[in-house]
Structure formats: structure tokens, C-alpha cells
Homo-oligomer: A and B are copies of this chain.
Amino acid sequence: MIKTVEWTNEGVRMIDQRVLPTEVTYLTLRSYEEVADAIKTMVVRGAPAIGVSAAFGLALGAKQAVGTDATDLEQDFDYMCQVMSETRPTAVNLFWAIERMRDAFRRARAETSSVETIKQRLVEEAQKIYDEDIKANRALGQFGGELLNDGATVLTHCNAGALATAGDYGTALGVIRGARDAGKRIAVIADETRPFLQGTRLTAWELAQDDIPVTIITDNMAGHVMKQGKVDAVVVGADRIAANGDTANKIGTYMVAVLAREHGIPFYVAAPISTIDLTLASGDEIPIEERNAREVTHIREQRFAPEGVAVQNPAFDVTPNKLVAAIITDKGIARAPYTESLRKMVKG
């Protein structure tokens, strides 16, 4: 089982996703600042994994706080939450996890003024978020697996696997694993996913470890393989789903969705309830992170672009709900109209 992020006595342990698969390295982060930095620099990425990491980071920060009374701890904790919330803007799981931790703090504070008890509760809450994430992905994998036929080839974009979650199963790859565990033979086509190459580096690595057949293509080949009839379904993860079903996910997802419709291929989004943001009416309101130009001009240390040329590097795009055949969650499968179906999933 792939362990993406874990709580240990020494700190928060993570697999370094920047260097996979050529190096399999685990880092132990010994402060909440180190965790925040790991999120920013994509040591860990993937919306659910970011949420779980942030929760562990806050638990670690609280545990290490030196204040001796609950008011001091609260002030420190608020500051840590602020730092953590500024790591990345798009994945709502980050803010959701921070809010869960704040709630846990408030509940503990209402019961006790023991700093040690509050700290303990925060560690427990983070561990609970971790456990729930693994369970949620198992559940959505089972629901989603039913949508795939035996023998199907699924195209996926980026990595929405074990590495994008607490570990184990993943979201989009959770659906593939769910189908596999239901006895279906599934093959995967993985878009390489520039600029960070999550498809080539992470998805292919995960699936190869599970003996699920995987073929890598560059992002610009997706249309061609669909036209050749090689793709039966598309399954992707999500970083934030608005109330109407508009879905922010890794840059390029929108193109895949347009192409899937062009070829009559169902396009599925797989995400836990924690990725749904009912406070945003539509995808137009989702903040899209613009990352450093160097990710596009360079690959690792090598420069490929001429000096002085402009670059755009939006890390995400938004796929409108009309292109989404279904949203697979841990509570079941939501279909259009999403404003109703998603509200039911979240509230019910």
C-alpha cells in the first residue's frame, strides 16, 4: 500500500513526489512550516492529500507550541492556520481540512482549558481526517467501479491516485481500483500531464505497482487516441467542485472533457465530498493558481525556452458541468442537474 502522508512520532512523513519514480524518498517534516513548504513546493500534491497534510501540519504545529495556556495556544494555532491557508489557493480540501481543525480546536476549548488535552484532540482530529479520506476513497472507488465495463480502457489526466490522497486507493485511480477489485479488467491511458509530469511519474508508477496495464501518452495525444477508438471512459480527480458541478482540476482537464464529448466518451469526475464547495455557485468563482514560469521554461534543471520569453502557467482549469457525465463521490454518484444532486450528497 502506498503511504502518501503519515503521522509519526517524529513528525509528518511524506513520500517526495517531486522525484518519483526515479527516486523513492520519504521526508520527515518536523514543523508546521516544513509541512506548509512541502505543500507549496509540491512534495505533496493532490487535493485530498493536501487536506490531510495540512491537518497533520496543524496538529504538529499545535503539539510543538510553547504557550502554557489555552489562549496562547489559540493565538498560535490561528496563525498556523493562516500560514497553512496561504500555501495553495485552488484545492478546497485544504481550506476544508483547516476548518475541520479549527472546529476541533473550538470544541476542545469549550470543554477544557488543558493545553495538553487540546493538543491531543487536534492530533486525533488530523488522524480522523486521514482515516476518513482512505475510507471515502474506498467507497467512491466501489461506486465508480460500477460505471466501468469489464475490458474498458480508461484515460486519466494528472494523478488522482493513492499519491493524491492519504494513500491506498485514490480518487480517479480509486474508481479504476474499485472496478479491478470487482473483478473487471481495466487498462489505463495516462496523459503525461505537463509541466509537473504527474501522469508519467506518479500515475504510471502507482498503476505499474498494482499490475494495472498503463500506457503513457503526451497530453497532446489524447484527441488522437480517442479518435482511434481506444478510450472507453475518462475518469479524473478534482481540486474543487462548485455547487453547480463545474470542476476545477489539473490544467488540461478541460481539454480532455471537450474531446471526450466530441468522441461520445463519458467523462467522470471522482472526488470525496470534501472537494465539493457549495459556497461557490459556479466554477467562475474558483481561484486558479498561477505558478512559476520556470516550471514551463525548464524541466528539472534544464532550460528549454529562450531567455526573456513570456510564459503562462495556470495550474488548473475549470470544466463546465455540461461536459461532466457524473460526479463520483463517497456518498454515491451525482448526475445533472448537479446543483440539486451535489447539495443532497453534501447535506444528506
Q: B-contacting residues of A (Cβ < 8 Å)?
A: 21-22, 157, 189, 191-195, 197, 200-201, 204-205, 208, 213-225, 227, 251-252, 254-255, 258-259, 262, 296-297, 299-300, 302-306, 308-314, 317-318
Contacts and interface: CB of A to CB of B under 8 A. Distances in A.
A204 B312 CA distance: 13
A302 B300 contact: yes
Chain copies in the assembly? 2
Nearest to A257: B223
A255 B220 contact: yes
B213 A194 contact: no
A295 to B, nearest CB: 9
A143 B259 CA distance: 31
A306 B21 contact: yes
B200 A218 contact: no
A210 to B, nearest CB: 12
A284 to B, nearest CB: 11
Contacts of A299: 299, 302
10 contacts: A192-B304, A194-B218, A201-B305, A215-B312, A216-B305, A218-B219, A221-B252, A223-B254, A227-B317, A227-B318
A227 B189 CA distance: 26
Contacts of A262: 258
A327 to B, nearest CB: 20
